């Protein structure tokens, strides 16, 4: 027979251990492993789409494994909202976004402005602006444009650059930051 004090302490210990690991971990790819040390064993993504009005707040990685259902939801959420075309979103981009969000220590969801772009959408945007790349990483599901109301473009970009995990573009006039899992580089003001 178990003593109720022993069961309570054991349960409390387990709950404490779970709480300690419930912090979103930074991604485990070159450039951001330093931020993962001592982190938890889950990764979370929290987004709002200003284009569709949808929200997404989910755990997409547990104990070293990506959750297929969560990744499918991310692929759908990051779709080209103009024509509902979907594409697999590169896990490195998802991890980069999650790591930066974690560094910023905010509960506010990112606002997604652009995730995957179909070739038709990219061509239309290129016709309107010289700032849209012909071979944009958005076309491959490797980029996202986001903003946070509680953080400036400079604050978000600085946190993203600290991850040393891909491209970081500052678009201060339009109030968003571009993330991609391409070569480590930065641009904009």
Kindly report the pTM of this predicted structure: 0.78
pLDDT of residue 39: 52
Q: How far is CA 166 from CA 30, 112, 163, 169, 183, in A?
A: 10, 18, 8, 10, 5
The pLDDT of residue 121 is 93
pLDDT, position 3: 42
Q: Is 77 exposed, middle or buried (0-12, 13-18, 19+ CB in 10 A)?
A: buried
**In this predicted structure, what is the pLDDT of residue 50?**
85
Q: Which residues of the chain have pLDDT under 50?
A: 1-38
Which residue in the block uniquely carries the two structure tokens 């953080």?
A: 151
Residue ranges of domains in the chain, CATH in brackets: 8-188 (3.30.1380.10)
Which pLDDT belongs to residue 130?
Answer: 81
Q: 144 - beta bridge partners?
A: 179
Give the per-residue pLDDT at 118.
Answer: 96
pLDDT at 6: 36
Count Cβ atoms below 10 Å from residue 126 Cβ, excluding itself.
14
Percent pLDDT > 70 in the chain is: 79
């Amino acid at each position: 027979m178990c003593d109720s004090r022993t069961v309570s302490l054991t349960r409390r210990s387990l709950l404490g251990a779970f709480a300690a690991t419930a912090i979103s971990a930074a991604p485990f790819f070159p450039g951001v492993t330093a931020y993962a040390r001592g982190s938890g064993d889950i990764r979370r993504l929290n987004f709002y789409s200003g284009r569709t009005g949808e929200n997404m707040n989910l755990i997409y990685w547990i104990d070293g494994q990506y959750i297929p259902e969560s990744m499918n939801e991310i692929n759908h959420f990051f779709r080209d909202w103009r024509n509902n075309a979907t594409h697999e979103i590169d896990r490195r981009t998802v991890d980069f976004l999650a790591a930066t969000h974690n560094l910023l220590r905010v509960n506010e969801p990112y606002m997604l402005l652009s995730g995957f772009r179909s070739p038709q959408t990219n061509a239309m945007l290129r016709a309107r602006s010289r700032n849209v790349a012909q071979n944009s990483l958005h076309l491959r599901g490797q980029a996202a444009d986001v903003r946070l109301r509680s953080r400036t473009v400079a604050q978000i970009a600085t946190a993203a650059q600290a991850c040393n995990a891909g491209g970081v573009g500052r678009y201060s006039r339009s109030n968003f930051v571009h993330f991609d899992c391409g070569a480590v580089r930065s641009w904009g003001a």
